[in-house]
Amino acid sequence: MELHFPDSLDERITHRCMQYWDTHPMFNAWMTVVARWTPVHMVGLIVLVAVDILPSTVCSSCLRGTAFAAIAGAVMGRIVNEPLSRWVRRPRPFEFLSVSPLLVHKGGDAFPSNHSTGAFALAFGCMHIPGYFQVLLGMAVLLSVSRVYTGLHHFSDVMAGVLHGILMGSVAVWLVTIWHICG
């Protein structure tokens, strides 16, 4: 099964982003850094909070349970996304439109976005940590936008990843809660 959406919202958004590529080199550079490194920064922030290096109003054992939920949600999302993306086999925008993306990436398997799934699973896995959830959510949104802007994903790839990540992060929090990993 291969998804192609000619003349769709996806294509219009991709073309709009590409219009800025030649005129905004500093923004392009920043978006490629965001697209590549934000997941590492998100995990790093979660670890720093979980090991009490960064302050939080949540008890230490709950922080560890929350960190576990966030990372488990991202892993669960990836486990589901891998066979799904191979089954769908949707080409990336740079393949579909025959252009070079701002960030070098192998082709194929664009739907759903693994980066968006993981980022939103990490953020929603930390939904019970005041202050940090909002920061992680902002990072997840920025990462998702950057994946579209750099030509690596269609808008619908990212939106599917966002919804899947929210689900996986929320399920992981629920599982951690019912298994009493916190406390």
Report pLDDT for 93: 80
3 in any annotated domain: no
State the pTM of this model.
0.87
Mean pLDDT by 10 residues, the chain (183 residues): 60 83 88 93 90 77 83 92 86 77 76 93 91 94 94 91 96 83 52
Give the H/E segment covering residue 79.
helix 60-88
Instruction: For 119-140, give one letter per residue: b (16+ CB within 10 A) or e.
Output: bbbbbbbbbbbeebbeebbebb
> How many domains is the chain built from?
1
CATH number at residue 162: 1.20.144.10
Q: Please state, in angstroms and rounded to a whole number, the distance separating the CA atoms of residues 99 and 153.
A: 13
Q: Please state, in angstroms and rounded to a whole number, the distance separating the CA atoms of residues 129 and 103.
A: 33
Q: Where in the sequence is the domain holding 76, given as residue range(s)?
A: 9-178
- Asked whether 154 and 91 are in contact (CB, 8 A), the reply is no
2 in any annotated domain: no
